[in-house]
Each structure stands twice: as structure tokens, then as C-alpha cells.
């Protein structure tokens, strides 16, 4: 019957982050002792002050449909957040609240891309960017980077990738999967190139904004002449440990926000009312309220880097943000380990799953086929055990 499915779904790859997480769950259910470092999901609980806001909302009988673009009070709180943290002036009409940043990104792609348009993706990039572009029948164009330049692209590379068909470029800093952060200076240099191409729109995905170990966060839309064509995406999942609450949002030029609301109004309508009420409390909280999680992530990052660094053949950089390590493991290509031929990152990731019981995600899914992604949003105990097992398999 699969032939009856649309070309659209048949051409869509499965999300590798979600697939690997599902595989790890399946193996665990079979009784295997799997350590899952696949999914980018904080292992903390949502802070009590946010949970209490949700409980209060239930008791206050928040149960009706919400405005498609979100409660006005929430949109106002988001405007304040953008001003407070990002030096960005948005009005509530420029804000759309969605069911996770993933929906925010899908909305933007749906309302801006036509078939045949090109979307530039500095690689490595989050798995769903390419799939979302493909759904819009747009063509995604990877701009490669490597661990040697901290997984960042140069202005020259950006310029070389631009064609008359380029409609959008997706930036993501701090980056999933590499953890790299573009400084203000680096972003301004990229903006200099885009100044020459006024028809290109910029999606700036800042979902990992607060998971930052010391580089000052800079929002692309804060560049004066980029504001009118940049859509800033953010959400609550990562910094507030609220992945399952599904709250994402955008700040955008009003006409784009309006189009996203129209799109969302035909697909999902406004996002969950209780989650939105809790979100008012979360976005209004200053980032220091979640600093304890960031400190813990940083300490885990350092532990994992220290341990992985002792394994010959694993090449590392120091991720400045997010909660992923993205080692280059290409030194193992062409080797046979535990009777398994390692041709690429997919094989390597499968080797770790089958022989070390450690779930990772292949870099191929992120447009970086020499790497794998390991999430360190897991307990220190699990992380130490995971690296120990990896070392045993590789030695």
C-alpha cells in the first residue's frame, strides 16, 4: 500500500534524531542496557516555578482554544524577552507562538519557499532543516565546514553558494549539532555578503541561546539592515527543560508573522493553552534562573571532552554551547572493528549501538558525514560509562 502514499511523504527522510531515540527505546525495552546519547533533550525537570504556573492555569480553567498566534500576554512577554536578551524590538504583531520551534521553522518555510527555490544550509545543520525545505519542494544547498575551522562557514563560502534562486539561508547559533557559536563580528561579516542580495531571507534559529558557556550570544536580526528580512526563532524546550511542553516562537517582519498565523490556523491552530500560560512565566524569568542547568552541562561537556580526548582517532573541538559533542571519527573509516567494516559515520554509529550499547546520531544526518553526534544531556555516571564502553570497543 505504500505506493498509495504521496510523493511528498515518500521523498521525506525519517528524522534521524527521533529514529535513533526510538531505536534506543526499543532496545531498552528488550532488556538491553542502552545509554542513549542520541536525543537532544535536557535530563532535568521543568523548574517548579514554571510547573506551578501551569497548575494554576488548570485551576483557573484555562481550557479553551487560544488565539492562533498565541495569547497576547505571552506575546508581550516574548517581546520583553527579545528586548532584554537580544536587543531586538518586536511588537506583539510580529510574534507567533507555535507548537515547538520545529513548527515555527516549518511555518516560515511554508510561507516563504516556492518549488525550485534554494535554501542555504551551513553544514552541519539540524536534521529537520533539509527535510522541511524538501517538503516545500525547495532545494537545499549545503555549505560545508569542518572541525578545523570550528564548524563555521566564511563569508566567501556564503557568497559562492548564492545563486539567483537563493531564497533563504538558515543560521543556527549555538549550533545543533556542533555547539559552535557565531560571534557578533562573524555574523556581521556574513551580513556584509547578504547586504548585496536583498531578496534573501534569513532564518536565525536561536533555540540554544541560553546554553552557552561564555561566548556572548548575538542575534542576527540585531544587525540593523538585516532586521527586516530575518526571522528569529526561539523556544522553551532546551533552556527551560520543557521539550514536551512544545512552545516555540518567532519574531519576524509583521507580514511574515501574519502569513505564519494564516498557515498555522489551517493546520494546528493555537498551541496548548496550559503550556502557553506556563510559558508566560518561563520567558519572563531572567536567564539566571536556569543557570544551574547550564553550569551542569558545562561540567559534563568538560568531562566528556577529557575522556573522549584520550581515545586515539577521535578528533574533537570544544563546543561553546548547546549540549552536543560532534567528533570527527573519519580516522576509523576503512577499518574493521569487532568484525564490522566501518565505511562511514552510519556504520560507526551502528557499531557504537550494537557493540557498546551507546546510541549516537550519525553526522550524515546533519550534512557532516565525517562526524557523529553525542548528546551529553545525560547524567555524569551515564556519560562516564558511555565513554568507557566506546573506548573498549575502539581499542
Tell me the per-residue interface mask from 77 to 116 with ligand GLU, x by CB under 6 A, - otherwise: -------------------------x--------------
Q: Does 132 bind ligand GLU (CB under 6 A)?
A: no
Question: Which triple of cell numbers denotes residue 277?
Answer: 500560560
* Nearest CA among 375, 381, 314 for reference residue 18: 375
Near ligand GLU by CB under 6 A, which window of 73-81, 126-134, 212-220, 339-347?
126-134
Grid coordinates representing 49? 516555578
∠ at Cα 203 (199, 206), nearest 5°? 155
β-strands 248-251, 324-325 pairing: unpaired
Nearer to ligand GLU, 20 or 221 (CB): 20
Based on CB atoms, which residue is closest to ligand GLU, 15 or 157?
A: 15
Give the three cell numbers for residue 200.
534573501
Q: Is 176 in the site for ligand GLU (CB under 6 A)?
A: yes
Q: At its nearest, how many Å lie between ligand GLU and the CB of residue 364?
A: 14
Measured in degrees and rounded to the nearest 5, phi and psi for residue 109 equal -60, -45
Please tell me the total number of residues recorded for the chain in this structure. Answer: 395
Residue choice 40, 124, 179, 235 for contact with ligand GLU (CB under 6 A): 40
39 is a contact residue toward ligand GLU (CB under 6 A): yes
State in angstroms the smallest separation of the CB of 368 from ligand GLU. 13
| Among 11-19, 67-75, 188-196, 221-229, the segment contacting ligand GLU (CB under 6 A) | 11-19
Cβ atoms of residues 378 and 40 within 8 Å? no
Who's near 328: CB < 8 A, 6+ residues apart? 146, 147, 314, 315, 316, 370, 371
DSSP 63-90: -S---TT--HHHHHHHHHHHHHHH----
By the rule CB under 6 A, 146 interacts with ligand GLU: no
Rule CB under 6 A: choose which of 12, 15, 51, 184 binds ligand GLU. Answer: 15
Q: Is residue 140 helix, strand or coil?
A: strand
Secondary structure (3-state) at 190 = helix
Based on the shown chain and the rule CB under 6 A, indicate whether residue 17 belongs to the binding site for ligand GLU.
yes
The torsion defined by the Cα of 187, 188, 189 and 192, in degrees rounded to 10, comes to 120
Nearer of residues 127 and 390 to ligand GLU, judged by Cβ: 127
Which one of 1-9, 124-132, 179-187, 300-308 is the stretch in contact with ligand GLU (CB under 6 A)? 124-132
Q: Work out how close the CB of 132 gets to ligand GLU at its nearest, in angstroms, rounded to a whole number.
A: 11
Q: What are the residues binding ligand GLU (CB under 6 A)?
A: 15, 17-18, 39-40, 102, 126-128, 176
Amino acid at each position: 500500500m505504500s505506493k498509495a502514499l504521496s510523493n511528498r511523504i515518500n521523498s521525506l527522510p525519517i528524522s534521524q534524531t527521533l529514529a535513533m531515540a526510538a531505536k534506543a527505546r526499543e532496545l531498552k525495552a528488550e532488556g538491553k542496557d542502552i545509554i542513549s546519547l542520541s536525543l537532544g533533550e535536557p535530563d532535568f525537570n521543568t523548574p517548579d516555578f514554571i510547573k506551578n504556573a501551569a497548575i494554576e492555569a488548570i485551576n483557573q480553567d484555562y481550557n479553551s482554544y487560544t488565539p492562533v498566534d498565541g495569547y497576547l500576554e505571552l506575546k508581550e512577554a516574548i517581546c520583553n524577552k527579545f528586548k532584554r536578551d537580544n536587543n531586538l524590538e518586536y511588537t506583539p504583531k510580529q510574534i507567533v507562538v507555535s507548537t515547538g520551534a520545529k513548527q515555527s521553522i516549518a511555518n516560515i518555510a511554508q510561507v516563504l519557499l516556492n518549488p525550485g527555490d534554494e535554501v542555504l544550509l551551513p553544514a552541519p545543520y539540524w536534521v529537520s532543516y533539509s527535510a522541511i525545505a524538501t517538503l516545500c519542494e525547495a532545494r537545499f544547498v549545503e555549505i560545508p565546514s569542518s572541525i578545523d575551522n570550528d564548524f563555521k562557514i566564511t563569508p566567501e563560502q556564503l557568497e559562492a553558494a548564492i545563486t539567483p534562486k537563493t531564497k533563504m539561508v538558515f543560521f543556527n547559533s549555538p549550533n545543533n549539532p556542533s555547539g559552535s557559536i557565531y560571534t557578533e563580528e562573524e555574523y556581521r561579516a556574513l551580513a556584509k555578503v547578504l547586504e548585496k542580495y536583498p531578496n534573501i531571507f534569513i532564518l536565525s534559529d536561536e533555540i540554544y541561546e541560553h546554553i552557552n558557556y561564555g561566548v556572548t550570544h548575538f542575534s542576527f536580526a540585531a544587525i540593523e539592515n538585516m532586521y527586516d528580512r530575518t526571522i528569529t526563532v526561539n523556544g522553551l524546550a532546551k533552556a527551560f527543560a520543557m521539550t514536551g511542553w512544545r512552545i516555540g516562537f518567532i519574531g519576524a517582519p509583521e507580514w511574515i508573522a501574519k502569513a505564519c498565523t494564516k498557515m498555522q490556523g489551517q493546520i494546528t491552530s493555537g498551541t496548548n493553552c496550559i503550556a502557553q500560560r506556563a510559558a508566560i512565566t518561563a520567558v519572563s524569568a531572567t536567564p539566571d534562573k536556569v543557570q544551574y542547568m547550564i553550569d551542569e552541562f558545562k561540567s559534563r561537556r568538560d568531562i566528556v571532552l577529557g575522556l573522549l580526548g584520550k581515545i586515539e582517532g577521535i578528533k574533537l573541538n570544544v563546543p561553546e554551547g548547546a549540549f552536543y559533542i560532534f567528533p570527527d571519527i573519519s580516522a576509523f573509516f576503512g577499518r574493521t572493528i569487532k568484525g564490522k567494516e566501518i565505511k562511514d559515520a552510519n556504520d560507526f554509529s551502528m557499531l557504537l549501538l550494537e557493540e557498546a550499547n551507546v546510541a549516537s546520531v550519525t553526522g550524515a544526518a546533519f550534512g557532516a558525514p565525517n562526524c557523529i553526534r553525542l548528546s551529553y544531556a545525560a547524567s555524569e555516571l551515564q556519560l562516564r560509562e558511555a565513554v568507557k564502553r566506546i573506548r573498549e570497543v575502539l581499542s
